[in-house]
């Protein structure tokens, strides 16, 4: 099974990917596809540049281009986790390319995610809750069909996992999610596992 992981800013996507990798899943990141492109161009990798180049690649090659590049490096057998999915076209491309693809969306309340952002102290992260909300809105949806569309990704998810508690709580939720994800997906359903 190929498990796609996405979610809102500081929802716990990286932690979910780490949990899945500890279970033996290979890892492919769509952001790594963008990083490879930036390196190929001989440019510096920055967060704004990742967004710009990702949007440009979608504009030039279609909204599923990053997923198509990931499909080329995914193992043909065995399980894998695909991270950094931020556009519905990427979800569609992964579903077309791998019938065993299942989409997992990680979520948590905005205040919880903002507090996580503050505690990790990454350069460039928003300093105020208002800045956090503004940055998040830009990732959620846009009038530009080639920019990030996390709300659409959430709507396309096979399962939404709430991550409000401890890492142990999240790991238990992921274990339940894997059981649910192994079932064939229902059309247009977005069940929530808390």
Residue with tokens 């659409």, as numbered in its chain: 152
Please tell me the least confidently modeled range out of 66-70, 103-107, 144-148, 159-163: 144-148
Strands 80-83 and 2-7: parallel
**116-134 per-position pLDDT tens digit:** 888 887 666 778 888 878 7
Domain count, the chain: 1
C-alpha to C-alpha distance for 133 and 126, rounded to whole angstroms: 9
92 CB burial (10 A radius; 0-12, 13-18, 19+)? middle
Task: Please state which of the ranges 17-31, 121-135, 137-151 shows the lowest mean pLDDT.
Answer: 137-151
Range of the domain at 153: 2-193
CATH number at residue 87: 3.40.50.300
Q: Give the span between the Cα atoms of 106 and 66, in whole angstroms.
A: 20
Sequence-ordered list of residues with C-beta below 8 angstroms from that of 84, at least 6 positions apart, any chain: 6, 29, 30, 31, 32, 66
Return the pLDDT at 183. 66
- Give the pLDDT confidence of 150-168 residue by residue, as tens digits: 888 999 999 999 999 899 9
pLDDT in the model for residue 193: 56
Nearest Cα to Cα of residue 105 among 189, 21, 1: 189
């Amino acid at each position: 099974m190929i498990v796609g992981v996405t979610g809102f800013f500081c929802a716990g996507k990286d932690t979910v990917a780490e949990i899945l990798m500890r279970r033996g899943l290979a890892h492919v990141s769509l952001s790594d596809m963008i990083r490879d492109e930036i390196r190929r161009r001989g440019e510096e990798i920055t967060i704004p540049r990742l967004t710009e180049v990702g949007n440009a690649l979608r504009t030039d090659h279609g909204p599923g281009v990053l997923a198509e590049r990931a499909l080329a490096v995914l193992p043909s057998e065995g399980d894998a986790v695909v991270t950094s999915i931020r556009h519905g076209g990427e979800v569609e491309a992964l579903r077309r390319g791998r019938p065993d693809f299942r989409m997992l969306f990680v979520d948590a309340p905005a205040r919880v995610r903002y507090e996580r952002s503050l505690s990790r102290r990454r350069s460039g992260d928003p300093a105020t809750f208002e800045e956090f909300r503004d940055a998040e809105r830009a990732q959620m949806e846009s009038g530009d069909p080639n920019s990030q569309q996390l709300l659409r990704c959430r709507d396309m998810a096979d399962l939404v996992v709430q991550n409000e508690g401890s890492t142990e709580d999240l790991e238990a939720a992921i274990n339940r999610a894997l059981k649910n994800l192994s079932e064939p997906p229902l059309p247009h359903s977005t069940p929530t596992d808390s």
